[in-house]
Chain A
């Protein structure tokens, strides 16, 4: 164990500029990954809000009978894609408007006499049916249920944007992680190059492949772990300085922090195995 630590530190010291460069690049990558995680958290929070809010609104004709209305609610509730149905009467719609307009509610004063707002049915959709195509199908099914339906509206932009944003974040995260793997691997290749004579001597005196290879692999893990830890610390400092005035976001969770650091160690170990096997010939 003492040997592994001693050799790992010696390797990093001999790596010099390349070791420092590796740590800097991993740190910067981690800052970007932390920023992406923060963005993901924010989007995820919005997605959760969307999922728990109304996805489809069915506006009803003023002439709809109460029996027709009850039958319609029953039919909509029976759809597989529907999670929850709430009936909003004309009066409730007006009350909501008053709340929305607040201090400017005088704009809609007098509407109590002839309420122009239609009664509606607000529909929450099951999570797996939130995609654009599924919302369209559900909306069409509802449209065909009654001639007393004036309009069926649904929000599609947000859900498709969220999906695209999540794919984008994942893609960027993968690219940055790949860049880190390449730079750590490069660092190990250089270490092996600088230490080629030493490795040759170790082989001559009967050192096993494990004895030569383990410190190199640990070096990769150390660079990955140290770089990602520095990255998380730097991200926190940047976050604190920017969030000082906003105070609306919370930093990435402790679980995510550990995940990022452990990913750094894991990718570091992983990226050092191949060059160790290939160039140190262990």
Chain B
């Protein structure tokens, strides 16, 4: 599902972030991407959803070679991938249900279908009572659930999460991970970037380790 071959990434000529990184994630896997802050985890995720282009190397995600992906093909590609961030990245002027609906609206789904799917996700995420609330009116855990609901709105084949529990306490963090496990159980490939060792131990999933962007350990 995800293949990275000899990926190099430098932001400027002298700042090398990733050095010859290679890894694979099989379809339906749940994998943790670990490493210290600044190791290059976020860069890898950004490369995977085509937010960045590698300096060299090859990336194949959901059967698409990202180096040959044209600008007009990016929106279609991104609809196959859900992304969750540490800072949630919710639209502050939209309600919970509007934030979830936006991911479906961009695909051109009929409004009645959007409404139906949003209701299902709200129930799944236990957010029905918060449907008309704005992001600033709900807790951090609820905000992250909204972000996950939005990421899962188009039933993506891959879910990428960048430090999704970074702003949450251990109990809420575990709750979020159980949601991910639930989606993974239904077939979604999950790649979570984190440095929360305790959480990784609790879940016991495969780990890809990055050290200063130079090496990968399985």
Residues of chain A touching chain B, judged by Cβ–Cβ distance below 8 Å, are 2-3, 10, 14, 197-198, 200-209, 211
A205 touches B102 (CB 8 A): yes
Q: How far is the CB of B9 from chain A (nearest CB, A)?
A: 19
Binding-face segment, B14-22, B58-66, B76-84, B136-144: B76-84
Chain A residues near B93 (CB-CB < 8 A): 10, 14
B191 on the interface (CB 8 Å rule)? no
Q: How far is the CB of A215 from chain B (nearest CB, A)?
A: 12
Total cross-chain contacts (CB, 8 A): 48
Q: How far is the CB of B82 from chain A (nearest CB, A)?
A: 9
A205 touches B106 (CB 8 A): yes
| Chain A contact residues, majority secondary structure | helix
Partner of A3, one of B75, B90, B105, B153: B105
B105 touches A206 (CB 8 A): no
Known: A3-B105, A202-B106. A197 touches B79 (CB 8 A): no
Partner of A198, one of B51, B91, B154: B91
Chain A residues near B111 (CB-CB < 8 A): 2
A205 touches B91 (CB 8 A): no
- 28 A–B contacts, CB within 8 A, in A order: A2-B111, A14-B93, A197-B89, A200-B89, A201-B89, A201-B91, A201-B102, A202-B102, A203-B75, A203-B78, A204-B49, A204-B51, A204-B78, A204-B89, A205-B78, A205-B79, A205-B102, A205-B153, A206-B75, A206-B103, A206-B154, A207-B75, A207-B106, A208-B72, A208-B75, A208-B106, A209-B71, A211-B75
Size class of the B contact interface (CB-based, 8 Å)? 20 to 34
Task: Report the separation of the CA atoms of residues A83 and B102 in the bound assembly, to the nearest whole angstrom.
Answer: 71
Q: How far is the CB of B205 from chain A (nearest CB, A)?
A: 24
B107 on the interface (CB 8 Å rule)? yes
Chain A residues near B75 (CB-CB < 8 A): 203, 206-209, 211
Residues of chain B touching chain A, judged by Cβ–Cβ distance below 8 Å, are 49, 51, 71-72, 74-79, 83, 89-91, 93, 102-103, 105-107, 111, 150, 153-154
Q: How far is the CB of A266 from chain B (nearest CB, A)?
A: 27
Chain B residues near A2 (CB-CB < 8 A): 111
B91 touches A206 (CB 8 A): no
In the complex, what residue of chain A is closest to B154 when comparing beta carbons?
A: A206
Chain A residues near B103 (CB-CB < 8 A): 205-206
Chain A residues near B49 (CB-CB < 8 A): 204
Chain B residues near A203 (CB-CB < 8 A): 74-75, 78
In the complex, what residue of chain B is closest to A10 when comparing beta carbons?
A: B93
Chain A residues near B79 (CB-CB < 8 A): 205-206
Chain A residues near B78 (CB-CB < 8 A): 203-206
Chain A residues near B150 (CB-CB < 8 A): 205
Q: How far is the CB of B23 from chain A (nearest CB, A)?
A: 22
Q: How far is the CB of B102 from chain A (nearest CB, A)?
A: 6
Task: Report the separation of the CA atoms of residues A200 and B102 in the bound assembly, to the nearest whole angstrom.
Answer: 13
Task: Report the separation of the CA atoms of residues A208 and B90 in the bound assembly, to the nearest whole angstrom.
Answer: 19
In the complex, what residue of chain B is closest to A202 when comparing beta carbons?
A: B106
Chain B residues near A14 (CB-CB < 8 A): 93
Task: Report the separation of the CA atoms of residues A209 and B49 in the bound assembly, to the nearest whole angstrom.
Answer: 17
Q: How far is the CB of A207 from chain B (nearest CB, A)?
A: 4
B83 touches A211 (CB 8 A): no
Chain A residues near B153 (CB-CB < 8 A): 205
Chain B residues near A208 (CB-CB < 8 A): 72, 75, 106
Q: How far is the CB of A201 from chain B (nearest CB, A)?
A: 5
Chain B residues near A206 (CB-CB < 8 A): 75-79, 103, 106-107, 154
Q: How far is the CB of B167 from chain A (nearest CB, A)?
A: 17
Task: Report the separation of the CA atoms of residues A200 and B150 in the bound assembly, to the nearest whole angstrom.
Answer: 14
Q: How far is the CB of B113 from chain A (nearest CB, A)?
A: 15
Chain B residues near A10 (CB-CB < 8 A): 93
Q: How far is the CB of A213 from chain B (nearest CB, A)?
A: 12
Task: Report the separation of the CA atoms of residues A200 and B89 in the bound assembly, to the nearest whole angstrom.
Answer: 9
Q: How far is the CB of A281 from chain B (nearest CB, A)?
A: 10
Chain A residues near B91 (CB-CB < 8 A): 198, 201
Known interface pairs A205-B150, A209-B75; 8 further A-B residue pairs with C-beta atoms within 8 A, sorted by A's residue number:
A2-B111, A14-B93, A205-B78, A205-B79, A205-B106, A205-B154, A206-B75, A206-B76
